């Protein structure tokens, strides 16, 4: 009798355990929400929609893209940090939200290290160093020599204090031992008009905008900030070819709320790798000057830590106080 009861209990446990395990492993089980920290139409929005469509095609689960712009992306980041960690709410984070802002701003609605589980970077965008046609330089070595001769006399533009274009130039000056005068602008078109008009000598700007101007002859392109040359402009050298170790990329990647199951993070990372290696997706990224850069979650976590440390040092070197 006892033996029969034990056998029945064992059989019941065996039947229940797999069902429980399977129920916990069912993911996704409801629509995914991808929060984009910028408005519709930008590169982060494009990345989110590419992922959403391909993910939906495979799993048959709707993917909702929610654009939550404002405060440099910190509003969207705070929203995701407070979301359920069941793997159904994701953030498109960036170098701005997860590497620059933690040192630049003293008050943020979330802790970029403790409140998020990194999944994978998706894409990186090179920034282009461009000079006005009136500046008598045609390559990076000539530029460095010229800046050292004209110590502090050359003006450079940016999209504003603490922006990535500003910090890229601070990083460049620190790496080359040069000094220039910063002229911040409220909008990129104003900055580019000032460069074309000779009011500033040089600037860093996104590949999409700057490369079009350089190809049209309005400015000269001297180098890209990625470790390797950009695939859509292989004739432009990487700045690191002259200044060893120089690298400053604009990147975007997926983050989930802290505590999201590791199995979900790994599955999402696999999906990022699969989706952004598809030929049609790679072609779309190339058309906007980007390239895929998938990693495993643990690799991405270390990458973000390194980026945060690098930009913290640059911000301190620029004397930018936390706001």
Q: Answer for the pair 34, 63: CB distance below 8 angstroms, yes or no.
A: yes
**Percentage, residues of the chain above pLDDT 70:** 91
Examine the domain organization and report whether 163 and 299 are in the same domain: no
Examine the domain organization and report whether 99 and 146 are in the same domain: no
Structure confidence by residue, pLDDT tens digits, 240-277: 999 999 999 889 999 999 999 999 999 999 999 999 99
Strand ranges in the chain using DSSP code E only, listed in sequence order:
32-36, 63-67, 89-94, 116-125, 127-132, 155-158, 181-184, 202-206, 219-224, 250-257, 291-292
What average pLDDT score do residues 26-39 get?
A: 93
Per-residue confidence (pLDDT) for residue 182, from 0 to 100 = 95
Q: Answer for the pair 82, 256: CB distance below 8 angstroms, yes or no.
A: no
Helix (H) or strand (E) holding 321: none
Examine the domain organization and report whether 115 and 160 are in the same domain: no
Per-residue confidence (pLDDT) for residue 161, from 0 to 100 = 80
Examine the domain organization and report whether 131 and 232 are in the same domain: yes
What average pLDDT score do residues 163-191 get?
A: 92
Residue 14 included in any domain: no
> Which of 293, 254, 250 lies closest to 119, judged by CA?
254
Per-residue confidence (pLDDT) for residue 204, from 0 to 100 = 96
- 187 versus 123: which is more confidently predicted? 123
Residue 159 included in any domain: yes
Per-residue confidence (pLDDT) for residue 86, from 0 to 100 = 97
Examine the domain organization and report whether 236 and 131 are in the same domain: yes
Per-residue confidence (pLDDT) for residue 194, from 0 to 100 = 97
Q: Answer for the pair 90, 54: CB distance below 8 angstroms, yes or no.
A: no
Using alpha carbons, list the distances in angstroms from residue 290 to 44, 175, 238, 249, 285: 11, 25, 15, 10, 5
Examine the domain organization and report whether 235 and 133 are in the same domain: yes
Per-residue confidence (pLDDT) for residue 25, from 0 to 100 = 61
Cis, peptide link before residue 28, omega less than 30° from 0: yes
Q: Rounded to the nearest 10 degrees, how much is the dihedral formed by the CA atoms of 129, 134, 137, 140? A: -10
Examine the domain organization and report whether 174 and 197 are in the same domain: yes
Residue 322 in this model has a pLDDT that exceeds 70: no
- 3 versus 173: which is more confidently predicted? 173
Per-residue confidence (pLDDT) for residue 15, from 0 to 100 = 44
Angle at 116 between CA 115 and CA 117, to 5 degrees: 140
Query: Among 109-113, 136-140, 206-210, where is mean pLDDT lowest?
Result: 206-210
Structure confidence by residue, pLDDT tens digits, 186-241: 888 899 999 999 999 999 998 878 998 999 999 999 999 998 898 889 999 999 99
3-state SS, residue 134: coil
Q: What is the CATH number of the domain that holds 70?
A: 3.40.190.150
Mean pLDDT of the chain: 89
Per-residue confidence (pLDDT) for residue 218, from 0 to 100 = 96
Examine the domain organization and report whether 175 and 264 are in the same domain: no
Task: List the domain range (segments joined by +) for residue 182.
Answer: 127-241
> Which of 1, 7, 86, 95 lies closest to 44, judged by CA?
95
What's the farthest any 2 CA atoms get from each other in the chain?
Answer: 98
Examine the domain organization and report whether 150 and 117 are in the same domain: no
Q: Is the pTM of this model over 0.95?
A: no
**Percentage, residues of the chain above pLDDT 90:** 69
Query: Among 41-50, 132-141, 191-200, 301-310, where is mean pLDDT lowest?
Result: 41-50
């Amino acid at each position: 009798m006892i033996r029969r009861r034990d056998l029945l209990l064992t059989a019941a446990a065996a039947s229940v355990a797999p069902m429980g395990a399977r129920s916990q492993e069912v993911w996704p089980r409801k629509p995914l929400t991808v929060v984009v920290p910028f408005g519709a139409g930008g590169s982060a929005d494009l990345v989110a929609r590419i992922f959403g469509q391909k993910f939906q095609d495979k799993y048959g689960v709707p993917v909702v893209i929610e654009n939550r712009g404002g405060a440099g992306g910190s509003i969207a980041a705070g929203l995701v940090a407070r979301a359920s960690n069941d793997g159904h709410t994701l953030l498109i984070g960036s170098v701005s939200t997860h590497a620059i802002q933690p040192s630049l701003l003293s008050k943020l609605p979330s802790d970029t290290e403790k409140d998020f589980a990194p999944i994978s970077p998706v894409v990186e965008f090179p920034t282009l160093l461009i000079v006005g046609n009136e500046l008598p330089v045609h390559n990076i070595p000539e530029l460095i020599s010229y800046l050292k001769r004209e110590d502090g006399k050359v003006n450079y533009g940016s999209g504003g204090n603490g922006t990535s274009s500003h910090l890229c130039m601070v990083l460049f000056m620190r790496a080359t031992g040069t000094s220039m005068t910063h002229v911040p602008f409220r909008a990129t078109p104003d900055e580019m008009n000032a460069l074309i008009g000779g009011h500033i000598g040089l600037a860093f700007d996104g590949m999409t905008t700057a490369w079009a101007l350089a190809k049209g002859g309005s400015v000269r392109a001297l180098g890209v900030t990625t470790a390797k040359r950009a695939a859509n402009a292989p004739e432009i050298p990487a700045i690191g070819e002259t200044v060893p170790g120089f690298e400053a990329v604009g990147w975007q990647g997926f983050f989930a709320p802290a505590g999201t199951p590791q199995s979900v993070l790994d599955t999402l990372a696999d999906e990022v790798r699969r989706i952004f290696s598809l030929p049609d997706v790679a072609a779309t990224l190339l058309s906007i000057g980007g390239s895929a850069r998938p990693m495993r979650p643990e690799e991405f976590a270390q990458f973000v830590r390194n980026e945060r440390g690098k930009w913290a040092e640059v911000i301190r070197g620029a004397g930018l106080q936390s706001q």
